[in-house]
Amino acid sequence: MATTAAAMAATSVVVLDRGNNTTCTINLHGATVVSWRVNNQEQLFVSKLASFDGKKAIRGGIPFVFPQFGAWSFGPQHGFARITRWHLERPPDRLHNGDVEAIFSLMDNDFTRSIWNYQFRITYRLILREKELHFHIGVYNPSKELSFTFNMLLHTYLKVPDVRRCQITGLQGCHFIDKTRENALYQEGREVVTVNEWTDRIYQHTPQEHVITNVVSGRKMRLHKYNFPDTVIWNPWIDRSREMSDFGDDEFPNMLCVEAGNVTSPVILLPGTAFEASQILQQFKCPYTIDPSSWKKNYLTNFLQYD
């Protein structure tokens, strides 16, 4: 882990390597996680037609959506964070327990202010564990006068052998906006949600945990989230796949987006205040739970330092 921040920042990607073929690769364009391998098995979907030109959002992995979700009258869809080059605040560093962390940051600049004229700073800390990937996010408003509102979401593309065999827990009883049916509001009655057609739903006030079955090698993926009240489920299916130039016509069966975020009720950030949110992705085979008390810790205190 002797690589310096300057050396890594000169390249486009940052790699966290925990050993045992367990790695995480982040493209500085959008701070997009483009690969997460556990025992050399890829967990994330990236389209074979994804663009890496440093201009367009990367189709797959885990793009960072901010400060807008969806269409935006002021600028690009899903905001500018996923199409802006981030700064490597701290290069990959091995912790005492063998985990590896890196910290990225984004702050307002001429480009962002030309679209959205607010001061802000985002700190994005990633921790690679043996079978887990942790995301800790802090958004700070350094202004002394202006508040701002924002959406934020981790647009996670999971790699799956057949999306029709996947099941998603934790959504029963939740209301959702169905974007495939003119944004009509429904309530989910199913104990587990399956995807067998074009799906684009914003589930509201969802619990902290979802389990997705039949991901890579028939295993399960646990998504545990904090301060992300919404969960978006998306798959373009065949017709919408054909409409996207950076997505293969035949790729939709092999991906499932399960996205934790703040969508339906934007966050209001007052001057001089900060907002934090977290997510853990955990690949597992046998029953295992994440200690919820870990969410009570302030992971970002040491990294949200401002003048």
What residue numbers does the annotated binding site cover?
59, 77, 82
DSSP state of 286: S
Question: Could you give the CA distance from residue 281 to residue 31 in angstroms, rounded to a whole number?
Answer: 17
- CA-based angle 20:24:25, to the nearest 5? 135
DSSP run (H or E) holding 157: strand 157-159
| Catalytic residue (choose from 29, 134, 136, 155) | 155
Q: Is 175 a catalytic residue?
A: no
Sheet of 32-38, strands arranged across:
13-19, 22-27, 32-38, 41-42
Q: Which of 250, 253, 256, 258 is nearest to 49 (CA)?
A: 250
| Catalytic residue (choose from 101, 251, 259, 276) | 259
Characterize the bridge pairing of strands 184-187 and 220-226.
unpaired
Q: Is 259 a catalytic residue?
A: yes
Annotated binding site for substrate: 59, 77, 82
* Residue 14, CA distances (Å) to 20, 197, 220 in order: 18, 36, 27
Provide the annotated active-site residues: 155, 259
